Chain A
């Protein structure tokens, strides 16, 4: 409440009822009391100190406000819970998302401050506290039942810090905070790998010479973005990984003498948001039909669709999917995002000994091998799903009589990995 602050203490304006001119006067009590009594002022009715003891902050509330609040508290209609959240070593944990009685949504519900504390207004009774910790602790979520009466305070101290050398890998969309003891961090962002192309042929003597050779390059691995140290303390982070390219598929055998084709698909783009910053890595390209060149549109080159004479490149074969890059470009870490192998078939209907076929293995780090065959195929074929942003191999089959699908595998989904910057 607030005291009245007059510029002329005791002064009043008197307006006579007979209509004569109003005049000012000063009132002075002259009752000669035997006891002065308690003045009716802020200090005696509701001081700032008393108001703070009820609401934590003084905002000029009235005595009526205070009486209502005390009644609400007395009858359990209003209560508060002050949580202190520490790790098992007693360090406060900031950025813990908290909600009472239902699972919280990170980025929408309130979080603990730098001192690990948060105050929640509620009503008296039994409540369940739901917590979502920043990434970097031994548990990601926790719930705890508490009995709240009046102003209740409680401490939660049940999770420990993970090792600072931990590498975190996110393969699905997620919104989160990162533990402040890990900041700054380095991110490795990979787009989704592409999927291989498919050619299913059913050649015979009527097939033109030009159409008796078919080839496709393998899918490329997802593009790569590796950041320098990024400050993540207290920043809301969202990861949205790109999907691996959808498999190409031919679901019924071509008619005799003809062929069918299906292009590979590009993987999805992976995006990372850190506060108001954003980073991304595009998906690798799908396998390319009729290509005798490397598929260079990605983080690792898809193998070429080549025969053995064309294939030799240094110590390797051009049909091989190239290996992915090491996580964080750190040679101590695993390779990710290898490319798919290429596939090539030449069919000579006049002489089976002239048939030739070649397929390359998938690149180290998630790529899958191409598949090529000049022999009759009567069952379903797939080059297999790639992993970890890798590209899948292309598939070329010369004598497909199968009603089952001739398919490439799905590209490997993108991801975001991070670790404490060194």
Chain B
């Protein structure tokens, strides 16, 4: 079975373990379906959390503004309805 090695939440390697082995015994984590080398391991972060993370990065300010506007519009639409 395949398992992955994760560094800073990025999958850096995918390796072959014996079926039924405990991935932790080899310093690995279970490989999420559809993920591969280079992907973020934990993709369950909410949109709000991702926007908050982007807000910390000034280089992404333009993207942040665009996403924030879209997010707020979505919130307003939800309230309006």
Binding site for B on A (CB under 8 A): 171-174, 192, 238, 240-243, 245-246, 265-266, 268-270, 283, 413-414
B side interface size, CB within 8 A: 11
A243 engages B26 (CB within 8 Å):
no
Task: State the Cβ distance, B36 to closest chain A Cβ, in Å.
Answer: 5
Asked whether B13 is an interface residue with its Cβ less than 8 Å from the other chain, the reply is: yes
Asked whether B65 is an interface residue with its Cβ less than 8 Å from the other chain, the reply is: no
User: Which of A240, A265, A413 lies in contact with B26, CB distance below 8 A?
Assistant: A240
Asked whether B67 is an interface residue with its Cβ less than 8 Å from the other chain, the reply is: no
A173 engages B15 (CB within 8 Å):
yes
Asked whether B17 is an interface residue with its Cβ less than 8 Å from the other chain, the reply is: yes
A172 engages B17 (CB within 8 Å):
yes
Query: Chain B 1-29 against A: per-residue CB contact (8 Å), 1 yes, 0 no?
Result: 01000000000011111100100001000
B16 engages A413 (CB within 8 Å):
yes
Distance of A283 Cα from B11 Cα, bound (Å): 14
User: Can you spell out 30 A-B residue pairs with CB atoms less than 8 angstroms apart?
Assistant: A171-B16, A172-B17, A172-B18, A173-B15, A173-B16, A173-B17, A173-B18, A173-B21, A173-B26, A192-B14, A192-B16, A238-B26, A240-B15, A241-B15, A242-B13, A242-B14, A242-B15, A242-B16, A243-B14, A243-B16, A246-B36, A265-B36, A265-B37, A268-B13, A268-B14, A268-B15, A268-B16, A268-B37, A269-B13, A269-B15
- Majority-rule SS of A interface residues: loop
A241 contact set on B, CB distance < 8 A:
15-16
Apart from the given pairs A242-B15, A268-B13, A268-B15, 19 other A-B contacts in the complex at a CB distance below 8 Å: A172-B21, A173-B15, A173-B16, A173-B17, A173-B18, A240-B15, A240-B26, A241-B15, A242-B13, A243-B2, A243-B15, A243-B16, A245-B36, A246-B36, A265-B36, A268-B14, A283-B37, A413-B16, A414-B16
Distance of A283 Cα from B18 Cα, bound (Å): 19
B17 contact set on A, CB distance < 8 A:
172-173
Task: State the Cβ distance, A376 to closest chain B Cβ, in Å.
Answer: 29
A238 contact set on B, CB distance < 8 A:
26
Task: State the Cβ distance, B37 to closest chain A Cβ, in Å.
Answer: 6
Distance of A157 Cα from B31 Cα, bound (Å): 42
A283 contact set on B, CB distance < 8 A:
37
Q: Which among B14, B21, B26 has the highest number of chain A CB atoms within 10 Å?
A: B14
B21 contact set on A, CB distance < 8 A:
172-173
Instruction: Give the nearest-CB partner of B35 in chain A.
Output: A246
Task: State the Cβ distance, A369 to closest chain B Cβ, in Å.
Answer: 23
Q: Which among B17, B21, B26, B37 has the highest number of chain A CB atoms within 10 Å?
A: B37
Distance of A171 Cα from B18 Cα, bound (Å): 9
A266 contact set on B, CB distance < 8 A:
37
Instruction: Give the nearest-CB partner of A265 in chain B.
Output: B36
A413 contact set on B, CB distance < 8 A:
16
A414 contact set on B, CB distance < 8 A:
16
B16 contact set on A, CB distance < 8 A:
171-173, 192, 241-243, 268, 413-414
Distance of A413 Cα from B15 Cα, bound (Å): 8
Instruction: Give the nearest-CB partner of A191 in chain B.
Output: B13
Distance of A192 Cα from B2 Cα, bound (Å): 12
Task: State the Cβ distance, B73 to closest chain A Cβ, in Å.
Answer: 30
B18 engages A174 (CB within 8 Å):
yes
Task: State the Cβ distance, B1 to closest chain A Cβ, in Å.
Answer: 9
**What 4 pairs across the A-B complex have the smallest Cβ distances?**
A268-B14, A243-B14, A172-B18, A173-B17
Distance of A266 Cα from B38 Cα, bound (Å): 10
